[in-house]
């Protein structure tokens, strides 16, 4: 589960500035290991502190600015079992990506390719036969979301599919 992204080195001793991509940043200092990059390489965590809306992290084996620079842009992950447990009916964004979307009339709209966070509600980005469709993640529209079956049924609002 992704909790951040390395932005750049911070200082000369291997510390890095990390964009926070979790709703629970206060839990970051509790983790003993972060997993970086597409291969999820483990890095023991030496320190986590917060500064100007970002996390400053120090990882074992990253002891200078040059080494920190090699990690720029990598996603920082934790094991799913270490994440905050979800309440009934809640889900992680990555679980929705790839779900097939249909109208209540059975018309296939495509698959969810992204979830956008807006101020009011999330929006599912769906790509399929109609091109890209933006589906508001609200009860009036999303009638069924079955993560096991990888299927979502929506009732389109007037003008949504035009």
**Are both 105 and 63 inside the same structural domain?**
no
**Are both 97 and 69 inside the same structural domain?**
no
pLDDT in tens, 83-132: 888 788 778 888 899 999 999 999 999 999 998 888 788 999 999 999 99
Paired residues of 102 in beta bridges: 108, 153
**Are both 68 and 105 inside the same structural domain?**
no
Into how many domains does the chain fold?
2
* Contact in structure between 142 and 104 (CB atoms under 8 Å): no
**Are both 98 and 74 inside the same structural domain?**
no
pLDDT in tens, 9-63: 999 999 999 999 888 899 999 999 999 999 999 999 999 999 999 999 999 999 9
Is pTM beyond 0.85? Reply is: no
Domain with residue 103: its CATH number is 2.30.30.240
**Are both 68 and 126 inside the same structural domain?**
no
* Contact in structure between 75 and 128 (CB atoms under 8 Å): no
Distance CA 57, CA 31 (A): 11
Q: Which domain holds residue 56?
A: 2-82
């Amino acid at each position: 589960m992704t909790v951040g992204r390395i932005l750049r080195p911070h200082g000369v001793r291997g510390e890095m500035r990390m964009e926070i991509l979790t709703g629970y940043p206060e839990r970051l200092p509790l983790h003993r290991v972060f997993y970086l990059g597409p291969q999820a390489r483990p890095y023991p965590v030496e320190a986590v502190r917060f500064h100007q809306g970002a996390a400053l992290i120090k990882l074992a084996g990253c002891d200078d600015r040059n080494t920190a620079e090699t990690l720029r842009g990598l996603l920082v992950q934790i094991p799913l079992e270490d994440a905050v447990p979800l309440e009934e009916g809640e889900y992680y964004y990555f679980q929705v990506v790839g779900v097939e979307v249909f109208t209540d009339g059975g018309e296939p709209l495509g698959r969810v390719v992204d979830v956008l966070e807006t101020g009011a509600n999330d929006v599912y980005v769906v790509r399929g036969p109609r091109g890209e469709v933006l589906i508001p993640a609200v009860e009036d529209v999303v009638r069924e979301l079955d993560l096991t079956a990888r299927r979502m049924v929506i009732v389109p609002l007037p003008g949504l599919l035009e």
